[in-house]
Amino acid sequence: MLTVVLCLMAWPAMAVAETRTKSVREWTATCDDYSCSAQTAGTGGAGFALEVARAAGGNEVWFVTLITPEADAPAQDPVTFEIEGTLSRDSVVEGAGEGRFGIADQAAIESIFPAMRKGAVLTVRYASGGAPVMAQFSLSGLAAVLLWMDEHQGQVGNSDRVRALDVRDDIRLSAEDMAEIRNQVVNANSLALCDWAREGDDTARFEATKYDLGEGYGLVIVVCAYGAYQESTLLFLDGTEGLEPLPFPVYDHLNGWTASLLLGTVSFDGKTRELHESARFRGAGDCGTWSRYRWNEGYFKMLEYAYLACKDSDEPVGENADMPEFPIIYKAKD
């Protein structure tokens, strides 16, 4: 038997909580203090499942996940979701371990989920190892158990919000997307700061990552050079006017606070909207800076900034020497 389960993918381990269950036709729902899920059996073979779930809270969303046996995992091609007379939609899926593949296309899940609530049978088709795979799931009772879970979580009237599962925070960029970003970076007149740009028009060396900031904004991080012990990066805000270079505050004990377009190693968390930057002033790593920022309705707000000046010493810093802590010289009040 093939099973369809509605639950949250990769749910973190939590304390045991009292659970409640309700079955309606082909579906059985389970809720506790942390989340609600529902499941049903289907046809197509053992080890398959389709999951959707929502965490507890006042502003949470449903997730949809396909679970497969290892031998029947989807290939890179999109998976097709069909409901006769209502839906035929392809979507890429994102692997999340243990045979779980989340619907990773937001536009697709916004079509698939409402159709599941109203349809009779959901058919899933995809290729695995060059062979076609098909599974069918009865949707009878799904709408009823979803309503029961809405009532349990206090989400009646707010039960249609869904989100694509994407393990990656960044936006997937095609070769054409990457070329367009490179052209805009060139037009922004800051490309000369990148060391590789001085070596000719070598597009293969261009490396950029893009994140969705919401509200019509995007963050583009361009890697400029890999040094002996760190990389350097340029950051751009992608808005209605195209790419605009983003200056960030920098500090040193000689010049005080200034601004710079060229940063050290940068990482960005698309879920928390926090950006972390660090730079080492020499290979020993015993002096430099690190800083944290959070995207805040149109700009990056500085949360913390740490700085430690280099000190001349006749004794080299050994491989096993204790690295000094970088004192925090700025910390936001809220």
Give tens-digit pLDDT for 91-129.
988 887 778 888 888 888 899 999 999 999 999 999 888
How far apart (Å, rounded) are the C-alpha atoms in residues 287 and 311? 8
- Decide if 159 is inside a domain: no
Task: Out of 153, 188, 209, pick the residue that ends a domain.
Answer: 153
Q: Do 204 and 86 belong together in one domain?
A: no
pLDDT higher than 60, residue 6: no
Q: What is the pLDDT of residue 195?
A: 58
Lowest-confidence region among 190-199, 283-292, 324-333: 190-199
Tally the domains of the chain.
2
Out of 119, 153, 187, pick the residue that ends a domain: 153
User: Is residue 322's pLDDT more than 70?
Assistant: no
Same domain, 108 and 198: no
Q: Do 190 and 309 lie in a common domain?
A: yes
In a domain, 235, yes or no: yes
pLDDT at 114: 92
Q: What whole-number distance in Å separates Cα of residue 121 and Cα of residue 124?
A: 10
* Rounded mean pLDDT, 46-64: 78
Domain that holds residue 325: 175-331
Do 82 and 203 lie in a common domain?
no
CB-facing half-sphere around the CA of 121: CA atoms within 13 A: 8
Same domain (yes/no): 321, 261 = yes
- Does the pLDDT at position 9 exceed 60? no
The amino acid sitting at 93 is: V
Across the beta sheet with 328-331, what order do the strands follow? 265-269, 274-280, 288-295, 300-308, 328-331
Q: Determine the pLDDT at residue 314.
A: 47
Same-domain pairing of 135 and 40: yes
The answer on 216 and 300 residing in a single domain is: yes
Beta bridge partners of 132: 127
Residue 324 pLDDT level (bands cut at 50, 70, 90): low
Residues 9 and 100 occupy one common structural domain: yes
**pLDDT score for 220:** 92
pLDDT of residue 303: 92
pLDDT-derived band at 317 (thresholds 50, 70, 90) equals: very low
Which segment, 81-90, 173-182, 217-226, is predicted with the most confidence on average? 81-90
Rounded Cα distance between 271 and 211, Å, is: 10
Q: What is the CATH number of the domain that holds 86?
A: 2.60.40
How much is the mean pLDDT over the chain? 79
Q: Please count the other Cβ atoms lying within 10 Å of the Cβ belonging to residue 169.
A: 15
CA dist list (Å): 309 to 147, 224, 254, 325: 60, 24, 10, 11
In angstroms, what CA-CA distances link 292 with 139, 142, 184, 196, 259?
Answer: 47, 44, 27, 27, 15
Residue 317 and residue 191 share a domain? yes
Q: What is the mean pLDDT of residues 217-242?
A: 80
Domain check: are 209 and 99 in the same one?
A: no
pLDDT in the model for residue 334: 67
